[in-house]
Chain A
Amino acid sequence: MSEDKKRASNQALQGNEAVFCVKGLTKVYDMGEVKVHALRGIDLDLFQGELVVLLGASGSGKSTLLNILGGLDTATEGCVVYKDCDLTRANDSTLTQYRRYHIGFVFQFYNLIPSLTARENVAIVTEIARNPMKPEEALSLVGLDDRMDHFPAQLSGGEQQRVAIARAIAKNPEVLLCDEPTGSLDSMTGIVVLEALEKINRDLGTTTIVITHNAPIADMADRVICLADGLIADVRSNAHKKPACEIKW
């Protein structure tokens, strides 16, 4: 990617403060007998309130990037600064605080606690947050008013993912990180989930980063960052964001 293009895309979000500053980020996994280079030196800024879609094939390093941004994983080299805090130098308890108060996660496989109802799955996060909404409010935001007392096993995949989103946003996080939120859903349900994300980003102004390998989803983003082989291959800004309900795949 040329320097010009990079500057242009960053200019599009002028006036917004950078939430994340990533410099030379590298991650190497030691998988027993092989070493896997997941990230090979990434530079990137992410801005307040933007909805970013990270695109890339399987193994391109997008999940690794997201995990490091979310404080779930540590970098091998380089640095990631969240506002004024250098995450790469943070210890375990700082990272825990960081996740607790600033970050909301949505996972591809929902990771709901099977023994808790939808409401309780949200409550498990709001109970430890600083300024949370009520679990009911969060579930209502994702359109699950009537399913609050159901256990994960009684919910469809889309509903489970929406519970996961409600759980992620209920603490009013500054950043929402979503790893393949529609990955295990059919397209109809996927759209409902995307609408929920869109709504949160728009109404609450939460910086939202969505990982997907599903290219059409990129149309709803402010910015689309493509990763390949652990490097940023392309960054583009959407002049016109498409509403989630118009996306098809």
Chain B
Amino acid sequence: MRALNRKLLRDLYAMKGQAFAIALVIASGVAVFVMSITTLNALRQTRADFYKQYFFADVFLSLKRAPEGLRLRIKEIPGVDMVETRVAAAVNLTIKDYSGPVTGQLFSVPDIGKPLLNKLYLRQGRMIEAGRDDEVIVSEAFARSHGFMPGSKLSAVINGRRKNLTIVGIGLSPEHVYQIAPGSLFPDFERYGILWMGRKPLGTAYNMEGAFNNVTLTLSPGAQIEDVIERLDKLIEPYGGLGAYGRKDQLSNRYLYEEFRQLANTATIFPIIFLGVAAFLLNLVVSRLINMQRGQIAALKAFGYNNYAVGLHYLKLIILIILLGVAGGVLSGVWFGRGLSEMYMDYYRFPFLRYEFQPGVAAIAALISIAAGITGALYSVQRGVRIPPAEAMRPEPPATYRETWIEHIGLKRIMSQPSRMIIRHIERKPVKAFLSTIGIAFACAIMIVGCFFQEAIDFMVDVHFRLSQREDLAVTFVEPASKRALFELQSLPGVEYGEAFRSVPVRLRYQHRTYRTAIMGVKPGGDLQRLLNSRLKPFDPPREGILLTDYLGDILGVRVGDKLSVEVLEGNRPVRMVSVAGMVSQCIGVSAYMNIEALNNLMREGNAISGVYLAADPDYHPEILSRLNEMPRIAGIVERRNAVKNFYETISEQLIVYTSFMAMFAATIAFGVVYNSARIALSERSRELASMRVLGLTRGEISYILLGELAVLTLAAIPLGCLIGYILCAYFVDQLQTDLYRIPLIIESGTYALAATVVLVSATISGSIVRRRLDRLDLIAVLKTRE
């Protein structure tokens, strides 16, 4: 090995502490990058494969009832490829030893053979035997939450008749990757299941012999989905069609799309910030590192090494450190990425995971890191080699110091000599001081971003459930009922108060933008469901007009006073123009609201209600639930405390796990920055400090001079970091808005405090390491040689 390369390895070994800290910063950036991108790619690939291999349909439609013969006419619609008709039914389920209300959606599968579209992936068991009317396949998530195995039993109320069923298989469908009950905000695997049954027995039980009430189809290549939907709707309208929709509006796919979009945002913004910060710090550290090697650069040049050889030597050193970091980052990134992907698998129901290590992703991370390191190194090497060697070997001329403005304004008298040294040093190299401060501030800022989500989500849930959706139980009917149903439920034991609501599925249209949602008819002066304005104060729905969730307003691009086209998707499917009366502040879900009377008028119906919100004594919940479960007209029951629990267990968990990884890496970066700043400061000034020791200053006094500067920079960095953190959080909040929820920009003081603490602790640890080195400063050796 050449002597120069040997020098390289030994130099690296000598600066192992610092090299490790730099590598750690790089590794954190790279790990976040690799983890996020590979996870995202894995999920996308998994989804794409599942959709393709299991024939996920392109268009979906529910209707009242149509004869099977209509299938051929659907198939004749230009642009339609494959068509499958089904029978779908809402069922109430009873599970032995489980008291809560359980609802489900039952879909038919062909009696012979497999479904044409939305095929089932059987995890366990078998398909239904032809002609058996007591066999079902259940969705995996539902099965797992109840411990079902093939052979387990449950009973269902189908079309008012109770039926005992045996589970023969456990399956997954591309149609229900994200399993969420209609009308509910979050998945609840215990209380909502998807079941599949033979077409013939289900048709018989549901009075659908020779008929269907659900159709899915795929498009032939090049077909226009809007045209197909329009023709399909026209064809099905006489049969009570509820409006066809594409994948875009298919519930599972839409949520999946939204969540993947959100994940894609986090998976690109976070790593870019991380890698950017890491690169910036690397640049900073490397340039100062090379400045310190001025003398050695000069000596090498004196021997006849040219600039290129000297430059290359230092670049190799930097690249070696970076590669160590990149290697560590890629390994941990892949490890965390696999873990994270598996966690997502638990949450989304895919039958398989396509997680692959992508060398390209690692290469990009390595390239970004190396480029950042090299630019930092190049600049300093260039500066180092440009000075004639004789000059570089001479000690630098005494730096020009001046009295600082702080001293000028008269604080001089109260400042000790060491304090003056600190501020003069900072003022003399303001750019360097500023860059160090920025570095530490960024570390603080990404800590804030890492911690922000948990508290913001808590706040969001608190606002939604304490101020807006205050009911204990939300009961939805199978079909609109009269107001009598409210009194009936209010009379249940333990129920303290009830409030009726009307919910009408609609498609809202403004100019070219549409959105499928439901209009909630709300009672003015209600106590359980309250609408909140932008200052989170409750207000009553106006007599006329529609209110939109602020986020929905943005999607549709409407303002107060604009007229919306409301296409009702049930009953006679009227289309009406309604003016927007206001916006509702709402973090969770997307909805439209009207005064319940105005909605009834719009529907030209009497006092119809779709469900009831109940306030009830928690002790009576089990009894109320079991009573509700016996009522055949009830389609769904949502218990608030359960909904909150589900929210945390499902939706927020993935974000929180992800962001806690971030917080961990952020803490690493914070430490890396502060430690390096301290170590470099020590190397740069050890001679000066040793001289002061020789002059009789104590260890404490010289430590004060060096660490005092670090302390000043750190303290200045914290408020700056908080500001940067706030800006980053605001950016994230803006990017992470989805139909499901919008995280509010609420940064609790605790988050700031935690970030500041991590930075301060890092500074203290780094300071004490440096302090130990200061105590061991070799006075004689330092003074005997030049820089």
Contact = CB atoms under 8 A, between A and B. Distances in A.
B776 to A, nearest CB: 15
Contact of A72 (B305, B307, B389): B389
Interface in A102-156: 103, 105, 107, 109, 111, 113, 115-116, 120-121, 123-125, 127-129
Contacts of A64: 390
Given A111-B295, A184-B784, A128 B7 contact: no
Given A115-B10, A120-B6, A96 B304 contact: yes
Contacts of B14: 115
Contacts of A167: 303
Contacts of A190: none
Contacts of B785: 109
Contacts of B397: 31-32
Contact of A116 (B6, B307, B786): B6
Interface string A20-36: 00000000000111000
Main DSSP-derived SS at the B contact region: helix
A129 B397 CA distance: 33
Contacts of B417: none
A124 B4 contact: yes
A63 B390 CA distance: 9
A15 B111 CA distance: 116
Contacts of B298: 72, 111
A96 B400 contact: no
B769 interface: no
A93 B397 CA distance: 27
Contacts of B784: 184
A98 B303 CA distance: 10
B302 A70 contact: yes
B429 to A, nearest CB: 15
Contact of B11 (A31, A72, A115): A115
A184 B302 CA distance: 20
A115 B2 contact: no
Nearest to B6: A120
Nearest to A63: B390
B400 A32 contact: yes
A92 interface: yes
Nearest to A184: B784
B296 interface: yes
Given A99-B304, A128-B304, A116 B390 contact: no
A115 B7 contact: yes
B750 interface: no
Contact of A128 (B299, B305, B391): B305
Given A31-B397, A121-B3, A73 B10 contact: no
B303 A105 contact: yes
B306 A120 contact: no
Contacts of A125: 303-304
A238 to B, nearest CB: 29
A124 B388 contact: no
19 contacts: A31-B397, A67-B388, A72-B388, A72-B390, A72-B393, A74-B388, A99-B304, A100-B305, A107-B302, A109-B785, A111-B302, A113-B7, A116-B6, A120-B3, A124-B303, A127-B3, A128-B304, A167-B303, A171-B304
Interface of A: 31-33, 63-64, 67, 70, 72-74, 92-93, 96-101, 103, 105, 107, 109, 111, 113, 115-116, 120-121, 123-125, 127-129, 167, 171, 184
Return the 10 tightest CB-CB contacts between A and B, nearest first: A100-B304, A115-B10, A67-B390, A72-B390, A73-B390, A124-B3, A123-B3, A99-B304, A111-B299, A120-B3
